[in-house]
Chains A and B, each alone.
Chain A
């Protein structure tokens, strides 16, 4: 049997980095093939070459045994290659049907297209209303738009770039069912991920990339997740651990937190309440866009409300702006590193001052900067958190995502917070750096601080949290002890499968009932 797609010796170099170095692999018809690797291993560059967005420097590709070198996505699509993007390539202000039409070569008239969208989406268990604006859809529904857009073009090869990072466990199951249906129909799937369990459950073959090179090809079902992880990272991973400690007094008490104003397409927080004690890590899970940003901003002081909604050590602080909260010992690190947690074009020293000037006393007298002290603070962060940088004078923008994240988290931690709130602390960070950051969070809690970790990575939350709560459409579930929670239970806390077709089955009624019990 000839391969559907074979890639031989593909190389692509960018200034200063070889993204792909002599990469070869092949996919058989009807195969689900995993492309496994860390962030920056070159997975995205590789699929962009297959999809015609990037031209390889050397090497060749064959599709059905014929040479294949798409100069642009249009020709790749014409040849039967479709792609679902990691960061959705959708237009929020356009309708579902218009979005689908934009991704097609010769879309039929809008009315007929809408009918086809309904038919195809129901046939694959991914119901969609073609008239709705994409901006109003949940992350899972948006992904369905992308998938349906691909399916309407009857692809031979479907590329999926990290499709499950925004889905609840229930939605992941539905997606996998869809992918298996496609596979049974003979469509090949190139599945990109760094989630090992998923790949072991779904894929027939795997190619593992590390620093742009293929380091192994294997059948993921015959290897354990630990083996795959070692191949991917290149070293055995340390699982963070912590000395069990006593929890102390309530440090943070939130009650009746409801947002008054939100951006267009933002999420309103609805009557959120929880407590965190000293020495405790509270994990807050949830699919992106369910109120994480709004919650962080309410806790950090970027949005202020009535004093009683947020209490810090019993003191009402809901009306205080960020600097006043920092002075008290409430620190936070938002999700977006460049532009929110750090000023991209300012040096690390300057970024250290911006957040640490009060608690580290980096200013004196009438507001003059103490550059010496600031520099040593920045150097302290760099040393303590193994930030790879030529020195503290470089611009924040010049650091890689993982290194900047270590710097941003380290900057807050070294200010000895009594409460630290982080959003997506290891987003886009490679596995070893992520492990280091999680360990640091645990150490901070062991030292007696209260920690709130907001994240979409459930594995991460299970690793660090003492208690777990889920954000769903601006509501926070009641926190439960993290130990012993099953993925099933977590999925239900996250809202189960957002408005999916299974909503009409018995199972779904069960889901809804269970879910409502959590919200008396």
Chain B
């Protein structure tokens, strides 16, 4: 193995790009889960966003329209989940799994005509002055706009959850839906909005894969990114900024793994692919030892159906 073959600046620079898809999907899922809904369909929503974003960007030759279409597509398919779980009270775990399978199938169908086509160019920003700083410049300030938008979304979610009444109500719904209902809050409506937001973010994350990271369409190209995003939310113990840290950590592992392979590391690639999940399990064990659910910070009503009985 030859570690000198790895360009560390390039590695760190690609870290942000590699992390953005799971970052977007995870922050969306975080909002969904803080509202008390467990949507395991992240993978399905991501891949739907990936193909819709890719197809629209090819047809319109505009990456921006592609991203918008991906967000709409992700939100739309998440509403299927919302309808089933919030109105028809189906089991959230089963419905989420079904959504993943459905999304994978649907995207394969939609993507028939787009295999092997090269995607549109997504412009990279060169932040004036900052991007010229040696080392830090290429790592932090020479990415496309979506990278910075994703960080802005994290900051926005954090601020909304912490400082606004809307965020408080969202947390309240996830904490005790019966009490929220008794106080007159529209539990189902609030949860649907959260699910739609989660879908839109997952769609954006998927589109980032097909438009920037790869950039072309292949079937099943999310390859488990949705599951990593789900693990990431738990890893982050439902806190926005920890999602950022976790995403860069997981993204970093992915990039490192690719580089190590290229450098000829003699460890099977499967071990490296396992790492994000192993770390999540480890973090869960550490966090839940002794201090209980409060330390984990999990929303109390996570995954429970709400039906107004009065």
User: Which residues of A pack against B, CB within 8 Å?
Assistant: 48, 52-54, 72-74, 77, 85, 87-94, 98, 101-103, 107, 135, 263-265
- Asked if B244 CB lies within 8 Å of chain A CBs, one says no
Q: How far is the CA of A101 from the CA of B172 in the complex (A)?
A: 11
Q: Is A89 a contact of B183 with CB atoms below 8 Å? A: yes
Task: State which residues 252-310 of B face A: CB under 8 Å.
Answer: 292-294, 297, 299-300, 310
- Asked if B169 CB lies within 8 Å of chain A CBs, one says yes
The smallest C-beta distance from A114 to any residue of chain B, in angstroms, reads: 14
Q: Is B294 a contact of A264 with CB atoms below 8 Å? A: yes
Partner of B184, one of A52, A93, A101: A52
The smallest C-beta distance from B185 to any residue of chain A, in angstroms, reads: 8
Q: Given known contacts A98-B168, A102-B168, A102-B172, is B179 in contact with A91 (CB within 8 Å)? A: yes
Q: Is A94 a contact of B172 with CB atoms below 8 Å? A: yes
Q: How far is the CA of A54 from the CA of B309 in the complex (A)?
A: 10
Q: Is A94 a contact of B292 with CB atoms below 8 Å? A: no
List of B residues within 8 angstroms of A263 by Cβ: 292-293
Main secondary structure of the interface of A (DSSP, over half): loop
Partner of B165, one of A94, A101, A265: A101
| 26 contacting pairs across A/B (C-beta < 8 A) | A53-B184, A74-B184, A85-B182, A89-B178, A89-B182, A89-B183, A90-B176, A91-B171, A91-B172, A91-B179, A91-B180, A92-B176, A92-B300, A93-B175, A93-B294, A93-B300, A94-B172, A94-B175, A98-B168, A98-B172, A102-B169, A102-B180, A102-B185, A103-B183, A263-B293, A265-B294
Q: Is B165 a contact of A107 with CB atoms below 8 Å? A: yes
Q: Is B310 a contact of A54 with CB atoms below 8 Å? A: yes
Nearest A residue to B292, CB-CB: A264
List of B residues within 8 angstroms of A88 by Cβ: 179
Nearest B residue to A135, CB-CB: B294
The smallest C-beta distance from B189 to any residue of chain A, in angstroms, reads: 12
1/0 contact string of B138-179 vs chain A (CB within 8 Å): 000000000000000000000000000100110110011011
Q: Is B171 a contact of A90 with CB atoms below 8 Å? A: no
List of A residues within 8 angstroms of B297 by Cβ: 93
Q: Is A101 a contact of B175 with CB atoms below 8 Å? A: no
Q: How far is the CA of A72 from the CA of B171 in the complex (A)?
A: 21
Q: How far is the CA of A85 from the CA of B182 in the complex (A)?
A: 9
Q: Is A92 a contact of B183 with CB atoms below 8 Å? A: no
Q: Is B182 a contact of A73 with CB atoms below 8 Å? A: yes
Task: State which residues 206-261 of B face A: CB under 8 Å.
Answer: none
User: Which residues of B pack against A, CB within 8 Å?
Assistant: 165, 168-169, 171-172, 175-176, 178-180, 182-185, 292-294, 297, 299-300, 310
The smallest C-beta distance from B292 to any residue of chain A, in angstroms, reads: 4
Q: Is A53 a contact of B175 with CB atoms below 8 Å? A: no
Nearest A residue to B163, CB-CB: A110
Per CB-CB distance, the 3 closest pairs between chain A and chain B, nearest first, are A73-B184, A89-B179, A264-B292
List of A residues within 8 angstroms of B179 by Cβ: 85, 88-91
List of B residues within 8 angstroms of A72 by Cβ: 184
Q: How far is the CA of A28 from the CA of B300 in the complex (A)?
A: 41
List of A residues within 8 angstroms of B185 by Cβ: 102
The smallest C-beta distance from B33 to any residue of chain A, in angstroms, reads: 13
Q: How far is the CA of A98 from the CA of B179 in the complex (A)?
A: 13
The smallest C-beta distance from A101 to any residue of chain B, in angstroms, reads: 7
The smallest C-beta distance from A21 to any residue of chain B, in angstroms, reads: 18
The smallest C-beta distance from B6 to any residue of chain A, in angstroms, reads: 44
List of B residues within 8 angstroms of A107 by Cβ: 165
List of B residues within 8 angstroms of A48 by Cβ: 310
The smallest C-beta distance from B5 to any residue of chain A, in angstroms, reads: 49
Nearest B residue to A266, CB-CB: B292
Q: Is A264 a contact of B293 with CB atoms below 8 Å? A: yes
List of A residues within 8 angstroms of B171 by Cβ: 91, 93-94
List of A residues within 8 angstroms of B300 by Cβ: 92-93
List of A residues within 8 angstroms of B293 by Cβ: 263-264
Q: How far is the CA of A92 from the CA of B174 in the complex (A)?
A: 11
List of A residues within 8 angstroms of B172 by Cβ: 91, 94, 98, 102
Nearest A residue to B295, CB-CB: A264
Partner of A53, one of B165, B182, B292, B294: B182
Partner of B310, one of A53, A93, A102: A53
Nearest B residue to A93, CB-CB: B175
Q: How far is the CA of A94 from the CA of B171 in the complex (A)?
A: 9
Which among B183, B293, B299 has the greatest number of chain A C-beta atoms within 10 A?
B183
List of B residues within 8 angstroms of A73 by Cβ: 182-184
The smallest C-beta distance from A83 to any residue of chain B, in angstroms, reads: 8
The smallest C-beta distance from B310 to any residue of chain A, in angstroms, reads: 5
The smallest C-beta distance from B161 to any residue of chain A, in angstroms, reads: 12
Which among A85, A90, A93, A98 has the greatest number of chain B C-beta atoms within 10 A?
A93
Q: Is B176 a contact of A91 with CB atoms below 8 Å? A: yes
The smallest C-beta distance from B277 to any residue of chain A, in angstroms, reads: 26
Nearest B residue to A74, CB-CB: B184
List of B residues within 8 angstroms of A89 by Cβ: 176, 178-179, 182-183
Q: How far is the CA of A85 from the CA of B310 in the complex (A)?
A: 13
Which among B182, B184, B297, B299 has the greatest number of chain A C-beta atoms within 10 A?
B184
Q: Is B175 a contact of A92 with CB atoms below 8 Å? A: yes
Nearest A residue to B293, CB-CB: A264
Which among A53, A73, A74, A91 has the greatest number of chain B C-beta atoms within 10 A?
A91
Nearest B residue to A77, CB-CB: B184
Q: How far is the CA of A63 from the CA of B171 in the complex (A)?
A: 34
Nearest A residue to B171, CB-CB: A94
The smallest C-beta distance from A146 to any residue of chain B, in angstroms, reads: 10
Nearest B residue to A76, CB-CB: B184
Q: How far is the CA of A107 from the CA of B300 in the complex (A)?
A: 24
Q: Is B175 a contact of A91 with CB atoms below 8 Å? A: yes
Q: How far is the CA of A101 from the CA of B171 in the complex (A)?
A: 13
Q: How far is the CA of A430 from the CA of B301 in the complex (A)?
A: 31
Nearest B residue to A149, CB-CB: B183
The smallest C-beta distance from B262 to any residue of chain A, in angstroms, reads: 46
The smallest C-beta distance from B20 to any residue of chain A, in angstroms, reads: 30
List of A residues within 8 angstroms of B168 by Cβ: 94, 98, 101-102
List of B residues within 8 angstroms of A52 by Cβ: 184
Nearest A residue to B169, CB-CB: A102
The smallest C-beta distance from A142 to any residue of chain B, in angstroms, reads: 11
Q: How far is the CA of A42 from the CA of B184 in the complex (A)?
A: 21
Additional 20 contacts, C-beta under 8 A, given A91-B180, A98-B172, A135-B294 = A53-B182, A53-B310, A54-B310, A73-B182, A85-B182, A89-B176, A89-B179, A89-B182, A90-B176, A91-B175, A91-B176, A93-B300, A94-B168, A94-B175, A98-B168, A101-B165, A101-B168, A102-B172, A107-B165, A265-B294
Q: How far is the CA of A73 from the CA of B292 in the complex (A)?
A: 35
Q: How far is the CA of A93 from the CA of B171 in the complex (A)?
A: 9
Q: How far is the CA of A74 from the CA of B176 in the complex (A)?
A: 18
The smallest C-beta distance from B223 to any residue of chain A, in angstroms, reads: 35
Nearest A residue to B299, CB-CB: A93
List of A residues within 8 angstroms of B184 by Cβ: 52-53, 72-74, 77
The smallest C-beta distance from B166 to any residue of chain A, in angstroms, reads: 12
Nearest A residue to B182, CB-CB: A89
List of A residues within 8 angstroms of B182 by Cβ: 53, 73, 85, 89
The smallest C-beta distance from A353 to any residue of chain B, in angstroms, reads: 28
